[in-house]
Amino acid sequence: MKKKVRHYSQQIKVGAIDRRHVLKDFSRMLDNQIETIVLFLLEQQGLLASRIAKLGEQHDALLQQPDISKIFELREAYRQVGRDLLKLLFFVEVNAIGLRKILKKFDKRFGYRFTDYYVKTRANHPYSQLQQVFKHVGIGAVVGAVSRNLHELQDRQGSYLSIYDQPALPLQDPVIDSVKAAVDRLTNSTNFLNFLGQHALILQEDMLPEQVDDQRYHFMSLVLNLVNTFLYMVNTYIIVPTADDYSMSLGAAATVCGVVIGAMAVAQVFSSVYFSAWSNRSYFKPLVFSSIVLFVGNTLYALAYDLNSIWVLLIGRLFCGLGSARAVNRRYISDCVPLKIRMQASAAFVSASALGMACGPALAGLLQTHFKIYKLTFNQDTLPGWVMAIAWLLYLIWLWISFREPAREDEVSSVQEGSNSRTAVNDALEKGLNQPLLISAEDKREDEDGDQDIDESEEAPEESRRPATSIRSAYQLLTPSVKVQLLIYFMLKYAMEILLSESSVVTTYYFSWNTSKVAIFLACLGLTVLPVNILVGSYISNMFEDRLILLVSEIVVCIGIVMSFHMFNPYSVIQYVSSGLIMFVSAEVLEGVNLSLLSRVMSSRLSRGTYNGGLLSTEAGTLARVVADATITLAGYLGESRLLNITLLPSLVICVSSIIATCYTYNSLY
């Protein structure tokens, strides 16, 4: 079909063919190719069904006269059906990738939006063969039959329960897990779980589904990673309602709260890198170090009041930022959690972050008391530090007792060497399936214009799996669309940080809110995170294209920023709360869709190593928070009456710039 596209181009140049004829002929050719794929898929499913039916007869005979050796042979025969089904799934996936690439090449060569036209006209038509490629009714039946029979052939030790009586305990078989993972990769729909998992930006390597590795996975260690994520987010936001009051009590201006809050983000810029590098060798030691540093940081934060030192306060927050182990949390899920539950673990990571974001301000609102023990003061300013110091100390004890350092990959491979024949089969299968995708020397010579698809999956196998070795090399792997999405991520994090960090100063100046009201407002904003993700992940992303949701969300964020400006007197609570809610919710929608797109288009070379995709997104978001908090402090020198408008102006400029960049990039690429 690439040759046909080149032929069309040559014919159009000499005027030998009409453009409308090209569109009609190319559409018909695509329809025929897809129909061939679908018919072959149905034919192969029928053959698999026939094999399963014959194996079922043997199974019935064994129930009458059990024979251990024949049971093992029958079980292996069912597994072979599963392996053949896996080959069939990869056949479909290779053709789906080929379809995407030829549509992309056609658009690029002729300047049409043919892809949009073709997909929209075929996606929902009742007789379209395109949807049959992504529907798995027959495949699901084969998987169900193989799973049920393998379950019955296992040694159940006298149990009378069937696979249907224990839906929460699926069959643990590597072949079935691989098939289910392949089906998930092929499916072109989005659900809430996948949406949340992509929100965490834990990238998957573009390779065959891995086998479950019980030597590296430990449930309690995963729980401890999620608790670390939750506590860190609580630690980040618990001081926001009282940071301005704490700064004033130490003789500084209220707007110095921007520096107090942002000090943690400044340190996190550096801590993310060394924690990411440290996680190449260990997970336990970085988490222990993180807990100790956070304990010290929160203790210093609490002691600053009695020491009457703003510098001790800032050093305490810097220590808290140096203890940010979010890079380790992401890396543990990416490297040590089996593929079949990795999406659930990624979703739990996002949920823990959202819950911590809501609990932080809410907890600050509950700490409205004042008392002294010896010379130590406990009030609404210092109690957040003391509470978090105790929490990190208890976490450190729990971590020391329960965490299990996962075996390194070389250790696991040496233990499993010689016993992983199935893995060897799958590796051979991968090489065989990838072979037709390689362009021969003759084809390269025939491609006279040198036009090549820009796709990370076309890299040489060794090169495509080699991780980036520096920030510079990681940046060079970013395509224009990825750079735009990182700009969008910077913009939304900047806007959200401005809203959250200056909320206590702005609401005190305009509305005379106390700490409890500020805490309730921030907690309500945090509680919208999960419902918004449910709405987007379960419904909106299935109704509209991600690019459309991305652009609309950016525009709504821009509207929320404009509504927040103080242009008319008096500045009302309704205006502030409604505009803040619009800005925050639309930014949450934008973040989810943006990271979902980012996880799909980012290079597979950024899925592992120190300088991975998660680190790049973390650094972009952290830098945005640093710049936002610095903006609040600098704007404070012009007076609290001007703070709101001055801090919103950069947000508006960055938001408009990201909208323009989005429109330009996607119009040029698509």
pLDDT of residue 202: 58
- Among 669, 662, 670, 668, smallest CA distance to 552 is for 662
CA-to-CA dists, residue 17 to 2, 491, 603, angstroms: 17, 47, 39
pLDDT of residue 418: 44
Of 17 and 492, the structure prediction assigns the larger pLDDT to 492
CA-to-CA dists, residue 312 to 245, 293, 303, 390, angstroms: 16, 15, 8, 19
pLDDT of residue 178: 77
How many other C-beta atoms can be found within 10 angstroms of the C-beta atom of residue 66? Answer: 9
Q: Are 499 and 630 in contact (CB under 8 A)?
A: no
pLDDT tens-digit profile of 123-161?
A: 666 666 776 665 555 677 777 787 777 777 765 444 444
pLDDT tens-digit profile of 392-450?
A: 999 999 999 999 888 765 554 444 444 444 444 344 333 333 333 333 333 444 444 44
Which residues, in sequence order, are bridge partners of residue 376? 373
pLDDT of residue 207: 38
pLDDT tens-digit profile of 604-649?
A: 666 666 676 677 777 888 899 899 989 998 998 888 888 999 999 9
pLDDT tens-digit profile of 289-317?
A: 999 999 999 999 999 999 999 999 999 99
Cβ-proximal residues to 439 (8 Å cutoff; 6+ apart), any chain: 447
- Among 527, 503, 650, 655, smallest CA distance to 577 is for 503
**Contacts within 8 Å (CB) and 24+ apart, 461-465:** 461/434, 463/605, 464/206, 464/604, 464/605, 465/205, 465/207, 465/604, 465/605
pLDDT of residue 212: 40
Go through 181-201 and write b for each residue having 16 or more CB atoms within 10 A of its CB, e for each that does not: bbbeebeeebebebbbbbbbb
Among the residue ranges 58-62, 151-155, 238-242, the one predicted with the least confidence is 151-155
Q: Are 331 and 187 in contact (CB under 8 A)?
A: no
Phi then psi for 484, rounded to 5 degrees? -65, -40
Can you list the positions of beta strands (E) in 306-350? Answer: none
DSSP one-letter code for 568: S
Q: Are 132 and 38 in contact (CB under 8 A)?
A: yes
Residues in the chain: 670
Query: Distance (Å, rounded) from C-alpha 643 to C-alpha 341?
Result: 46
Q: Are 300 and 319 in contact (CB under 8 A)?
A: yes
- Among 464, 487, 473, smallest CA distance to 611 is for 473
pLDDT of residue 466: 67
Of 31 and 132, the structure prediction assigns the larger pLDDT to 31
* pLDDT range class, residue 232, cuts 50, 70, 90: very high
Rg (CA), the chain: 28
In the three-class reduction of DSSP (H, G, I as helix; E, B as strand; rest coil), residue 372 is classed as: strand
Among the residue ranges 95-99, 450-454, 503-507, 548-552, the one predicted with the least confidence is 450-454
Which residue type, as a one-letter code, is found at position 194?
N
- Among 474, 477, 484, 476, smallest CA distance to 590 is for 484
Q: Are 283 and 404 in contact (CB under 8 A)?
A: no
Cβ-proximal residues to 42 (8 Å cutoff; 6+ apart), any chain: 138
- Among 326, 198, 230, smallest CA distance to 269 is for 326
Token pair 């009457």: residue: 308
- Among 106, 87, 132, smallest CA distance to 2 is for 106
pLDDT of residue 209: 40
The rounded Cα 521 to chain-centroid distance in angstroms is: 27
Residue ranges per domain, the chain?
Answer: 1-156+173-199, 219-404+472-665
Domain 219-404+472-665 superfamily per CATH: MFS general substrate transporter like domains (1.20.1250.20)
Q: Are 669 and 480 in contact (CB under 8 A)?
A: yes
In the three-class reduction of DSSP (H, G, I as helix; E, B as strand; rest coil), residue 319 is classed as: helix
Query: Distance (Å, rounded) from C-alpha 71 to C-alpha 154?
Result: 9
Query: Distance (Å, rounded) from C-alpha 530 to C-alpha 588?
Result: 9
Q: Are 212 and 229 in contact (CB under 8 A)?
A: no
In this predicted structure, the answer to whether residue 578 has a pLDDT above a threshold of 80 is yes
In the three-class reduction of DSSP (H, G, I as helix; E, B as strand; rest coil), residue 164 is classed as: coil
How many other C-beta atoms can be found within 10 angstroms of the C-beta atom of residue 3? Answer: 10
Q: What share of the chain is helix, strand, coil (3-state, %, to 5)?
A: 75, 0, 25
* pLDDT range class, residue 201, cuts 50, 70, 90: low
Instruction: Report whether the peptide linkage leading into residue 384 is cis, meaning its omega lies within 30 degrees of zero.
Output: no
Token pair 């590597």: residue: 174
- CA atoms within a 13 Å half-sphere pointing along the CA-CB vector of 354: 24
pLDDT tens-digit profile of 469-504?
A: 676 777 777 777 778 888 998 999 999 999 988 998
Burial (Cβ within 10 Å: 0-12, 13-18, ≥19) of residue 148:
middle
